[in-house]
Structure 1
């Protein structure tokens, strides 16, 4: 035990020594897309991932699903040999992750305006919200749902043209690295206030909109800082315990920033809501996991603040939207099980289908529709499930934006506008469909 504690102390010191002035690089890191086509290969891949320090970008939903892994250059050949020797169907969809990051950063250099041709950091987003509030004082108002673990305000914007409108709630960037979500949320705000499209004007004027561009503010700021010089891979073995710990501190950060162990920071906020929390293996109990559900429901200040604010407006909110990336899905409850269905499954499906058709009509982008558990995988403690199960939202959806994995979380900035445009078309169709079903 003494040596184990010494090891923990050393590792903690290494973590503390990471300098905020350094940036992690992903030169020649590759993203593999693997398609296990039976249960044997599915289990082989699952075991191999468990024994190696790869970062899982997409978890295989079933044995016929797709998994995507970020593989460092020194492990590329051995990983390819593993896949080929066991007959896996796979592709390398990104040959150099750093190239995508460099392109993303180049889009941001020298931009003083707020546009949707580049990604923006939290300060720029909040500055733009202030500008919107000054420009449209009659239609907009600010709200703060609370503060993050590191003390940042979590800000939102309400758009309301007249009293007694039904409410729409939108949360985005609850996962730090999913920058396309806050970019799409701000585009939605702009469109609701400035669009000349009569369909958009109709939904702007006949609903009250509560939009939070960045929920996970600490993680989002961290993902823009690229903190820590290198990826630290740690294997801890003591008696019966063996833990592989990949510690990523950079653009690919997903979780919150509240420490939950001496080694690992953060919980997955979209596994931290008090709705079937940790049920059926839908979240991890390991603090170093990307899907760690936290030590208890609402352990993260960000999810607790969101839930408390949502409760304060829930009586007027019918539709809850959660923006995520990637994979091109429109998902609805349940996430914790695929053995039972929500009572209004047919309506949930109809509304999502209509949204997916509208999205496809604009640029041909194809979205898959279905329950979280049945379409992707078991995921418990999610925000949209909580809103549906506990928050009174009769309609709750998770959008997983572009793309299918060619760039994944590093979606190029040139795709912000088309992604946002088709999402807006999808929301317009969604609200029309829900109205036809008498939800409004």
Structure 2
């Protein structure tokens, strides 16, 4: 009996991602569905099964405007899941038939760069940090490293400052707070490279006239884990004192309306677990301390995420209230979206407050900066796509996504300056 108990515990711990030496998790025949949710009962059912993280995984939380949720389903649960949908009259659309196939396609191909750092594949943490070292060594007069702090597992959270002259207004970018959103660090590194190497007039204007503070990979533990063990890992890697599930959603762990209005979860197994207290995650705590220290050095705060094609602004905790300068925030958002849509790709971004355009999300980094550091301009960018690939955006789309980012940022900064915030 004791042997059976030990075996059962071992299986549970392995499934929860607790064992550090467990094999790399595979997602053969896992499927992703887009669900249309019509009422609170349907939503409660999906949110409940979404917490069974060994069987289901919420990819995109409930969007009240579109009434949709994206959810990944284990092959062992597909039949039961379909019966659950029928019983609750929930309509669905199959978006991804086999998640592992898309994961395999993300890996290095014959066309991917191998000897030099480029943007035709996704890089691991060690490779990104080695590239960052090269950049710092190559451009010592205009770049400087900054250290945010240490992760739970003891990794250093690193950033780079790009400054061509004193007195420039600052812009802070935090990327890859959610581990599985690989397009964010790919975009951040590409953006850094453009600021240092591009000769295009608009890009040179951004580089020369603004100070840039950029963290390419913020959730270093989770990002490493997403490469080495579980491609779909989202959270941090700090164990929970009373639960076998690991990590918290670092972007729900900031002390700004923390855990209010169902904008995060108190369940340690949830993908949106807010932590036991605000700042319980050492990564979030370190960022708060660092940003507080340099708060006079930046005017705009941007957080890189995926997916869904949104430019989201405060507030996340309520759609009943809006910032005093919300009209300006929307004007800037429209400039960003229009610039991206004008490119040959024709990609459409929605813009507006997080709670109004997408869903209630509390304890986020952007809202904390906006509310606690009294910044007037802050956005979350949710990159490509709308769910065809989700977090598994093919490497061939890295450059197009980055080109959209640059067009959007040029317009965003120009409009922000025009409105007097810079």
Band of TM-score, shorter chain? over 0.9
Contact 1:255–1:268 (Cα < 8 Å) also in 2: yes
**Which residue of structure 1 aligns with residue 254 of structure 2?**
273
Q: Does 1:32 align with 2:27?
A: no
Q: Does 1:358 align with 2:360?
A: no
**Which residue of structure 2 aligns with residue 204 of structure 1?**
207
2:324 to 343, 350, 354: 343
What are the residue-to-residue correspondences of 1:37-436 with 2, within 5 Å? 37-39=38-40, 41-46=42-47, 49=50, 53-62=55-64, 64-84=66-86, 86-107=88-109, 111-226=114-229, 250-261=230-241, 262-362=243-343, 363-436=345-418
Summarize the Cα distance change of 1:76–1:205 in structure 2 as closer, same or farther, 3 Å threshold.
same
Summarize the Cα distance change of 1:222–1:297 in structure 2 as closer, same or farther, 3 Å threshold.
same
Summarize the Cα distance change of 1:154–1:311 in structure 2 as closer, same or farther, 3 Å threshold.
same
**Which residue of structure 2 aligns with residue 247 of structure 1?**
none
1:14, distance to aligned residue in structure 2 (A): 3.8
Deviation string, structure 1 residues 321-361 (Cα, Å, up to 9, x no partner): 00000010000000111111111110111101110111111
Q: Does 1:22 align with 2:10?
A: no
Summarize the Cα distance change of 1:124–1:372 in structure 2 as closer, same or farther, 3 Å threshold.
same
**Which residue of structure 2 aligns with residue 241 of structure 1?**
none
Distance 1:36 1:78 in 2: 18
Please list every run of 5 or more consecutive structure 2 residues that lacks an aligned counterpart in the other structure.
none
Q: Matched residue of 2:108: which SS?
A: helix
Contact 2:18–2:246 (Cα < 8 Å) also in 1: no
1:307, distance to aligned residue in structure 2 (A): 1.5
Distance 2:415 2:390 in 1: 30
Please list every run of 5 or more consecutive structure 1 residues that lacks an aligned counterpart in the other structure.
227-249
Aligned Cα RMSD in Å? 2.2
Distance 1:319 1:58 in 2: 26
Summarize the Cα distance change of 1:74–1:218 in structure 2 as closer, same or farther, 3 Å threshold.
same
TM-score of the superposed pair, with normalisation by structure 2: 0.93
> Once structures 1 and 2 are overlaid, which stretch shifts more, 54-63 or 12-21?
12-21
Deviation string, structure 1 residues 360-382 (Cα, Å, up to 9, x no partner): 11121101111111111111100
Contact 1:20–1:225 (Cα < 8 Å) also in 2: no
Distance 2:22 2:237 in 1: 18
Distance 2:18 2:411 in 1: 51
Summarize the Cα distance change of 1:46–1:256 in structure 2 as closer, same or farther, 3 Å threshold.
closer
Distance 1:65 1:151 in 2: 40
1:116, distance to aligned residue in structure 2 (A): 0.3
> Once structures 1 and 2 are overlaid, which stretch shifts more, 169-178 or 99-108?
99-108
Contact 2:312–2:354 (Cα < 8 Å) also in 1: yes
Distance 1:371 1:107 in 2: 39
Distance 2:78 2:245 in 1: 26
Q: Matched residue of 1:322: which SS?
A: strand
Query: After the TM superposition, which parts of structure 1 deviate over 6 Å for at least 4 consecutive aligned residues?
Result: 6-9
